[in-house]
Copies of this chain bind each other. A is one copy, B any other.
């Protein structure tokens, strides 16, 4: 049994790429192998996290870190390529323009050790296969983020946003401003050589809030209908929008290379116009599209309209130099089942937008978290500076969000609200990955940020539960 197991692993991991490189199998076969393996481990991570009552995202991310680094230290050439994220496509571009592979890699990667590893991996017999697989994995994970943000948007409707109270607004603003200022300070002090752009990007990443994790914990504790919960959820929803605008501003500063009032002002105006324009024109276009597609089956029309709408807004957002995810989020906020004629005649016809899109999201989003995990180079932590930086970011991230509770009514439990705002979850990771794509976040910084996201996401649920336990005791004493 033992022998046959190893034999299987042996062929499973090496031979398929060789076969594909010879062109003798379906070109999709090697992609299927890697994509399915990544998804398999992502599901395992999610499964383990769930069994330990942790958010699924955390399990997927940690599984990515563990698997990625194990494979890297075991010498996997595919992981060497995957670790470098989208910078390998710059390599490809240089090669197609006439550079040799070695020259191209050196031009893109600054670290010569990783560069020589990458050159070796790409020039090997399976290099082309690996490159293509890495590209598909990259694209799948980006589609995953788009569907993820669309689903986040679906959960926050325009109506609800209008009803958020003054307290939520205050909590949201403090929850953005405080971590930004603290984060910028930490980055400035602990990374002496860093650029202003990098410091700003870190600050923006610290300001993110993930509504999903807190909401789930509050649901579990049956506290979702309390005043505190409403304040937290309202603030987190606003934070999503403010955070996305902030991301757009910071990205634009990075792209333009300078912090000037014109750039910042332009992006803020673009963002506001984008949200306002989609909120105004979106429903009109949707109604026309739905009317036009009335000859298709209702579930089909719903799926197609949703898909085309999300993708159009994602592309449009990117076209005016906002991020694709901003468009996806806006599409989610606007779209709801009410646009479509309710037809409950068969089970398939009564499928909601969420039913139709969640298969796409459930398959693709875990890929994103695995890819983020794989890109965390554990060896970067063998460096006191990185550890200091990570600790500083964690402290700034925690204090910044705890302080946000002060925006709430003094009758409410302000500490509880602050704790609820802690987790950065998927939103923080999306910000970090965009920074990496833009080239402003180095390997070291990326590791430190991912650690910050893991810790803030990990501690929030037990702290929330503990705080509720303390409150319960206090109430019992009072009575």
Give chain B residues whose Cβ lies under 8 Å from the Cβ of A21.
93
Within 8 A of B (CB), among A347-363: 347-348, 350-352, 354-360, 362-363
A90 interface contact, C-beta 8 A: yes
- On whether the beta carbons of B308 and A29 are closer than 8 Å, the reply is no
In whole angstroms, how far apart are the Cα atoms of A96 and B130 in the complex?
12
Q: A16-B319, A33-B315 are in contact. Are A293 and B47 (CB under 8 A)?
A: yes
Q: What residue in chain B is nearest A366 (Cβ atoms)?
A: B304
Select one of B23, B131, B136, B303 contacting A90, CB under 8 A.
B23
- On whether the beta carbons of B96 and A25 are closer than 8 Å, the reply is no
- On whether the beta carbons of A138 and B363 are closer than 8 Å, the reply is no
- On whether the beta carbons of A314 and B122 are closer than 8 Å, the reply is no
- On whether the beta carbons of A138 and B355 are closer than 8 Å, the reply is no
- On whether the beta carbons of B303 and A359 are closer than 8 Å, the reply is yes
- On whether the beta carbons of A89 and B355 are closer than 8 Å, the reply is no
- On whether the beta carbons of B127 and A50 are closer than 8 Å, the reply is no
In whole angstroms, how far apart are the Cα atoms of A433 and B79 in the complex?
31
Pick out which of these stretches binds chain B: A35-43, A156-164, A180-188, A229-237: A35-43
Give chain B residues whose Cβ lies under 8 Å from the Cβ of A128.
89, 92-93, 96
Select one of B32, B89, B100, B360 contacting A314, CB under 8 A.
B32
A150 interface contact, C-beta 8 A: no
Select one of B16, B27, B311, B355 contacting A32, CB under 8 A.
B311
- On whether the beta carbons of B40 and A308 are closer than 8 Å, the reply is yes
Q: What residue in chain B is nearest A133 (Cβ atoms)?
A: B139
Q: A89-B128, A314-B32 are in contact. Are A362 and B324 (CB under 8 A)?
A: no
A295 interface contact, C-beta 8 A: yes
> A358 to nearest B CB, angstroms?
8
In whole angstroms, how far apart are the Cα atoms of A173 and B324 in the complex?
52
Give chain B residues whose Cβ lies under 8 Å from the Cβ of A89.
27, 128, 132
- On whether the beta carbons of A36 and B319 are closer than 8 Å, the reply is no
Within 8 A of B (CB), among A232-288: 255
Q: A128-B89, A128-B92, A312-B36 are in contact. Are A27 and B142 (CB under 8 A)?
A: yes
In the assembled complex, 12 residue pairs joining A and B whose CB atoms fall closer than 8 Å, in A order, are A15-B319, A19-B319, A28-B139, A32-B324, A39-B307, A43-B293, A96-B122, A96-B127, A98-B100, A303-B362, A347-B352, A357-B359
Given contacts A23-B90, A28-B139, A29-B324, 14 further A-B contacts (CB under 8 A): A15-B319, A16-B315, A24-B321, A26-B318, A26-B324, A26-B437, A32-B315, A32-B318, A43-B296, A46-B296, A47-B295, A136-B136, A351-B355, A356-B359
8 nearest A-B pairs in the assembled complex, by CB-CB distance: A29-B318, A28-B142, A36-B311, A93-B128, A26-B324, A359-B359, A32-B315, A25-B318
